Amino acid sequence: MDEFIIRALIAGIMVASVAGLLGVFIVWRRMAFFGDTLSHSALLGVALGMLFNVGFTIGVLASTLLVGLILYSFQKQKRVSNDALLGILAHSGLSMGLIALSFVQAQNTNIEEWLFGDVLSVSWSDVYFIAVIMLVIVIIMRWLWTPLLTLTVHDELAKVEGVNTNLVNLGFVLVVALLVATAMQIVGALLITALLIIPATTARNFAKTPEQMALIAAFIGVLSVIGGVYASFWYDVPAGPSIVMFSTALFFSSHAARRLL
């Protein structure tokens, strides 16, 4: 087996399993559009990271956290509805990112790589970096799990019971931002949300507890990555979209299977 496939599989499996862990919360909290907003506007972060020469990860983290803060500060007003605001930020971030990237075109960037990812081109140092980031996310999530679940069920009840809801929400935005920054390389800015919500929604069919649902979602994400990476290698189709197609196939077949059982 070629080494680049092994690298792609390792990187993809790590990102997809952590995406399953976070994706269940995105589904429970109905934040699919929020995931889109963070990942689309992350393209601006990529461009900024390159322009200021600090690396795209730092750029993406900065832009995602900025978007998170803007959303948070707008939450208290009622004149602009939340989903309109998400749409505005998603597409303005994407547009600004595309414009900014056109300035760095000279340094041979391929915009498509950022939009749809290129998992087959990850290097060993990318793999190590992704491993560290995923470990950080898992550690934060371990600490965040119960308060975040409490908050997801009912946020006023959680507040009265002593959950620091601002801190927990901020922590969650941070881990999603970290995931977006790394998943950019695997499935690209436009498809990250798919990695978050499709495995999680599929897992609902089989789970009896929140933890089961997260683990099953992670497992389904891993299966999708394996399928997608191999399809991409054998049939020479783009890897990111293939991964998403595999998880979609699993989603529909799980529904069919459930109906038969």
Q: Which residues bind other proteins (CB under 8 A)?
A: 27-30, 146, 149-150, 152-154, 156-157, 159-161, 201, 204, 207-210, 212-213
Instruction: Supply the minimum distance, in Å, between the C-beta of residue 153 and other proteins.
Output: 6
CA 196/CA 180 separation, integer angstroms: 10
Instruction: Supply the minimum distance, in Å, between the C-beta of residue 204 and other proteins.
Output: 5
Q: For the residues of 92-142, what is the DSSP string, one character each?
A: HHHHHHHHHHHHSGGGT--HHHHHH--GGG--HHHHHHHHHHHHHHHHHHH
Instruction: Supply the minimum distance, in Å, between the C-beta of residue 160 and other proteins.
Output: 4
CA 198/CA 196 separation, integer angstroms: 6
Instruction: Supply the minimum distance, in Å, between the C-beta of residue 104 and other proteins.
Output: 40
Instruction: Supply the minimum distance, in Å, between the C-beta of residue 28 and other proteins.
Output: 5
DSSP 8-state class, residue 183: H
Residue among 154 and 258 whose Cβ is closer to other proteins: 154
CA 208/CA 212 separation, integer angstroms: 7
Residue among 78 and 259 whose Cβ is closer to other proteins: 78
91 touches 72 (CB < 8 A): no
Residue 101 in tokens? 């990237």
Residue among 95 and 152 whose Cβ is closer to other proteins: 152
Q: Is 160 helix (H, G, I), strand (E, B) or coil?
A: helix
CA 207/CA 195 separation, integer angstroms: 18
Q: What residues contact residue 229 under an 8 Å CB cut-off, 6+ apart?
A: 5, 8, 9, 12, 119, 120, 239, 242, 243
Residue among 1 and 160 whose Cβ is closer to other proteins: 160
- Of 89, 62, 15, 56, the C-alpha closest to 243 is 15
Instruction: Supply the minimum distance, in Å, between the C-beta of residue 213 and other proteins.
Output: 6
Instruction: Supply the minimum distance, in Å, between the C-beta of residue 77 and other proteins.
Output: 12
Residue among 179 and 200 whose Cβ is closer to other proteins: 200
Residue among 205 and 248 whose Cβ is closer to other proteins: 205
Residue among 50 and 148 whose Cβ is closer to other proteins: 148
